[in-house]
Structure 1
Amino acid sequence: MVFKMTTKIDPIYTEHIAEILALDFYGNNHMACKVSKFPPSENNTLSFSSSIDVEFFIFPKNSIVIAKPEVVESLVDKGASVVISSEPKYDYCRLFKHLLPPPFYGVHSSAVIGNDVILKEGVSVGAGSVLEGKILVGEGTIIGNNVVIKNKVQIGRNVRIRHGSIIGEDAFSFGFSSKKDVKPDAIRFPSLGGVIIEDNVEIGNNCVISRGTFGDTILGKRVVINDLAHIGNEVFISEGAVVTANTDVSSRVKIGKGCWIGQSASIRQGHVIGDGATVGMGAVVITDVPDDATVLGVPAKVKDLG
């Protein structure tokens, strides 16, 4: 069975796409009125390809492809026009960020905004969200529905927080009593820190980001957190790192610049993930990870990529 994977869009020409992206194009000035995965299955379809192996694909007429320089001539020979890009997927996303209508800006009537909350220009707060405490939200930030932001939270510009996330709640830390002459007891440790989210961060649906016990939990610029992730207290995530879905990052972990933390990974408290490192899907990290290393397994061990 073959499924058609195309979606209609308003007509757009190769020349216009290249102009929006400030890139060159090669081939005829085709018109696209649909988008699809690569390779396209219908005429007049826009797609992108990060591959440099396209020799064996069959193309319909008048396709537009955002593709790498290495495959330009091959794709044009097949009848496509090519917008030349060193980062095709990124430029495809840039294009649709320009083309798609902007989201609604404003505060929904059902949102609760505390007296000490400061919302800068162009902030959107969705239905049922609650912002209470000393909270600053920077320009152009979009907060989805049913988000809870509490206590001390500073959010930068152009941040996206998707639905159901909780930011700034107290840390999961307790003092326990086990004296024989008293009933066992647990008292939650006081959380006196906050959360700092820098510019252009994306936080997925139903994430939990705890505030610090003494210092702050910090997400650096351009960090991406996927759905259902848990970020513990006083975690520091450096610029450009990606934390994928269902990941648990325990307290005081430091994640370096440009790291990739795979789905359902767990990182034990206090460890350092070096710049550029990759933590594989489902890995359990119980030691520090060197710069640029890839770790896999339970417990996670460095993989030799040589």
Structure 2
Amino acid sequence: MEISFFTSHTNSDRVIEILQDIDHALAINQQRFFEVRGCCDARQGGKNSIAFSPSLNPDESEEKLQDCIVLTESPMTRQDTTNLYVTVDDARAVFIALLDRLTTELGLQPYTSIMSADISISPLARIHPSACLEEGVKISDGAVISAGCVIKRGTQIGCNTVIRENSVIGCDGITVYKNKNGDLMKFPHVCGVVIGENTEIGAGCVVARGILSSTRIGSNVVIGNLSNIGHGATVADDVWMSVGTLIGGHTHIGRKATIGMGSRIRDNQLVGDHASIGMGSVVVKSVDPGTSVFGNPAKRMATLTTGPKR
């Protein structure tokens, strides 16, 4: 479970006041004090947070969420609840507007709960003078941040990890939602990027920060030059990824997977452990563990060998 938490607390009275100013907020089902620590993804669960669930499953919601303010388009009828349910026309739109106002008007700064409490730059890290590091980053012993890199707030980089020239770690990804009035809204990115140890990210790469769950790159990973990792994606330990690879948001790349040059993997896919993806492939559906795929769209190739021998 991951919660994006705010650096200072607010309570339900202030949140409700903001909600009542938003056109989509129609009703508050009950009034009682809540300590709101941040926001979470309702599908993953959380506590003392703001969440949204357009199509509410009461049993699943009660199991995953505790003492939360939940925006929903389905009225909650059950009484045995620890949460405050707010019925709205467009739950996602209200959630976006609420997060935007909490982080701008109230000045609350979100950080991920899986970020180490020790926010610091190790004196044993090597930071090029031309690199730009925002406040709120953790750079561990032996890490190398090369010329022209930009490391954004909410990024954690493990020991001996190397970020090559002109890479950007922790920028926002592209997330646009069209609300029921037809207006385009940008979903706030309120989580960060967590990178493990002994990993190398090539030159000119982009790793987007997470929206409601952090983007994670494991240890002993190699990512080739000019690659892009989408928001909320996970790259597990020992993955080898060649030049120009594009990974869509919320996709999971399993341990020791090998991805050939110029491959594209769409969002919300699962690439299994020890899987191989051939050069230039376009992956539009999940890849089973230990299998090899190639082509556009990628199909299973039993004899395919990808990447260096490991």
**Separation in 2, partners of 1:301, 1:190:** 35
Question: Any gaps of 5 or more consecutive residues in structure 2?
Answer: 1-117, 305-310
- The answer to whether the 8 Å contact 1:117/1:132 transfers is no
Note the residue ranges of structure 1 that are not aligned, 5 or more in a row.
1-115
Question: Equivalent residue for 2:240?
Answer: 242
4+ residue runs over 4 A deviation: none
Does residue 1:267 correspond to 2:269, yes or no?
Answer: no
Q: Partners of 1:136 and 1:300 in 2: how far apart?
A: 38
Deviations 1:11-69 (A, max 9, x none): xxxxxxxxxxxxxxxxxxxxxxxxxxxxxxxxxxxxxxxxxxxxxxxxxxxxxxxxxxx
RMSD: 1.7
Residue by residue over 1:233-259, the C-alpha shift from the partner in whole angstroms, topping out at 9 and shown as x without a partner, is: 111111100111111100011101111
Identity score, percent? 33
Q: CA–CA distance in 1 between the matches of 2:245 and 2:160? A: 24
Counterpart-to-counterpart distance in 1, 2:153 and 2:296? 36
Equivalent residue pairs, number: 187
Normalising by structure 1, what TM-score? 0.59
Q: Which of these two proteins has the greater Rg computed from alpha carbons?
A: 1
- Counterpart amino acid of 2:175? S
Secondary structure at 1:134's aligned position in 2? Answer: coil
Partner of 1:166 in structure 2? 168
Q: Which amino acid aligns with 1:150?
A: K
User: Where in structure 2 are the equivalents of 1:100-249 lying within 5 Å?
Assistant: 118-177=120-179, 179=181, 185-249=183-247
Separation in 2, partners of 1:177, 1:282: 35
Give the corresponding residue for 1:254: 252
Cα offset, 1:117, TM superposition: 6.0
Preserved contact between residue 167 and residue 208 of structure 1 (Cα < 8 Å): yes
Residue 28 of structure 2 corresponds to none
Q: Deviations over 1:174-230 (max 9, x none)?
A: 122585xxxx64332100111000000100000000011001101111011110000
- Kept in 2, the 8 Å contact 1:265–1:279? The answer is yes
- Between the two structures, name the one with larger relative contact order (CA 8 Å, sep ≥ 6): 2
For 2:196 and 2:230, the matched residues in 1 are separated by: 17
Partners of 2:127 and 2:133 in 1: CA distance: 9
Using the TM superposition, give the Cα deviation of residue 304 of structure 1 relative to its aligned residue in structure 2, in angstroms. 2.3
Instruction: Give 1:149's aligned amino acid.
Output: I
1:105-131 CA distances to partner (integer Å, 9 max, x unpaired)? Answer: xxxxxxxxxxx9621131111132111
Which residue of 271, 275, 298 maps to 2:296?
Answer: 298
CA distance in 1, matches of 2:260, 2:180: 38
TM-score normalised by length of structure 2: 0.58
- Distance of 1:245 and 1:185 partners within structure 2: 37
Q: Corresponding residue for 2:53?
A: none
Q: What is the CA-CA distance between 1:265 and the residue it aligns to?
A: 0.5
Equivalent pair of 1:161/1:203 in contact (CA under 8 Å): yes
2-side partners of 1:136 and 1:295: how far apart? Answer: 37
Cα distance in 2, alignment partners of residues 220 and 292 from structure 1: 19
Report the Cα offset of residue 292 of structure 1.
Answer: 1.0
